[in-house]
Amino acid sequence: MRNFAAILEREVRSYFLSPLAYVVIFFFLAVSGIFFYLILSNFVEICIRATMQAQMYQMMPPKLNVNMMAIRPMLHNMALFALFFLPLVTMKLYAEEKKSGTIELLMTSPVTDGQVMLGKYTASLVLYLVMLALTFVYMIFIYAYGEPETGPILSGYLGLFLLGAAYLAFGLFFSSLTENQIIAAASTFAFILVFWAIGWISDFVSPRIGRVLAYFSLIEHFDDFARGVIDTKHIVFYLSFVFFGLFLTYLSIQSARWRGAK
């Protein structure tokens, strides 16, 4: 536990000492903010038009659901932005240490490879939580001007967290394969993209195969969270993804030891 904490602490510090973390946080917030603005102003426009129509026909103005019409698309957008930014969060975790040789310190210290791995992974989760927490500020706007349901927002964030956790686990894996951070980030991005796109392919193949493919789509499992439904089968799916990613990472580190590669 102490070893895990020591690794975690160093990684978190190192994130916040490097410009990269701030750049990632800034652009994630900026891009999310822009889309938040666009979606919300679109929603407001629809509301105004609906109200005007209602007045014309002398009816009660309809109650439009801000959760379904603004927050849900917003959550979907953030899931996409995470796909772009999270590979940048994990790329350095092993690659940098392999390149600089500090991995030799970790691997010859009385610390297990598992403790090192979990420390690094948890550090990336911490940074991601910071990113998510900051976007929460946007939701406060909605509370100020509308009456959203809190449940779907929270479940949506839970979904975002789980989805991101799956990205990060595979990011860690790809970082453990190379000493080149760019390669680590690019392969993570490509890999995750495939597991998004699998859902789209499923429309073009036979329904049986389509259902299987759709099951493996990372984003298919997200929509329920965005609609306010927390289903254990989705949680199990994302957690399996995380475990699988960590398992591969562990194998890759063990194999590097045997091969004598860095």
Partner 1 sequence: MIEVRHLSRNFGTVKAIEDVTFDVRKGEIVGFLGPNGAGKTTTMRILTGYIPATSGTAKVAGFDVQEQSLEVRKRIGYMPENPPLYGDMTVESYLHFVAKIKGVDGKLRKRNVEKVMEQVEIKDVRHRLIRTLSKGYKQRVGLAQALVHDPEVLILDEPTIGLDPKQIREVRTLIKNLAGEHTVILSTHILPEVSMTCERVIIINKGRIVAEDTPDNLTARLAGSQRVVMEVEGPVDSVISALRAVPGVMSVTADRAGGDSRSVFTVETSVGKDLRKELARTVVEKGWGLYELRTVEMSLEDVFLHLVTQEEEVGN
Ligand X SMILES: Nc1ncnc2c1ncn2[C@@H]1O[C@H](COP(=O)(O)OP(=O)(O)OP(=O)(O)O)[C@@H](O)[C@H]1O
Stretch that binds partner 1, among 6-14, 52-60, 121-129, 183-191 (CB under 8 A): 6-14
* Residue choice 104, 200, 205, 207 for contact with partner 1 (CB under 8 A): 104
The count of residues interacting with ligand X (CB under 6 A) is 2
CB of 258 to ligand X, least distance (A): 11
Residues 31-60: x where in contact with partner 1 by CB under 8 A, - otherwise, as a string:
------------------------------
* Residue choice 100, 150, 240, 255 for contact with partner 1 (CB under 8 A): 100
193 binds, among partner 1, ligand X, none (CB under 5 to 8 A by kind): none
Q: Report the C-alpha gap between 205 and 44 in whole angstroms.
A: 39
261 sits near ligand X (criterion: CB under 6 A): yes
CB of 261 to ligand X, least distance (A): 6
* Residue choice 42, 51, 102, 240 for contact with partner 1 (CB under 8 A): 102
Question: Apex CA 79: angle with CA 78 and CA 80, to 5°?
Answer: 85
Q: Closer to ligand X at the Cβ: 105 or 261?
A: 261
For the chain, helix, strand, coil in percent to 5 are: 85, 0, 15
Burial class (CB in 10 A: 0-12, 13-18, 19+), 48: exposed
Q: Report the C-alpha gap between 153 and 232 in whole angstroms.
A: 17
CB of 104 to ligand X, least distance (A): 12
Which strand (E) or helix (H) includes residue 83? Answer: helix 72-90
Cβ distance 245 to 165 under 8 Å?
A: no
**Neighbour tally for 63: CB within 10 Å:** 9
- Tokens 């967290």 appear where? 161
Residues that bind ligand X (CB under 6 A): 260-261
Residues that bind partner 1 (CB under 8 A): 2-3, 6-7, 10, 13-14, 17-18, 100-112, 257-260
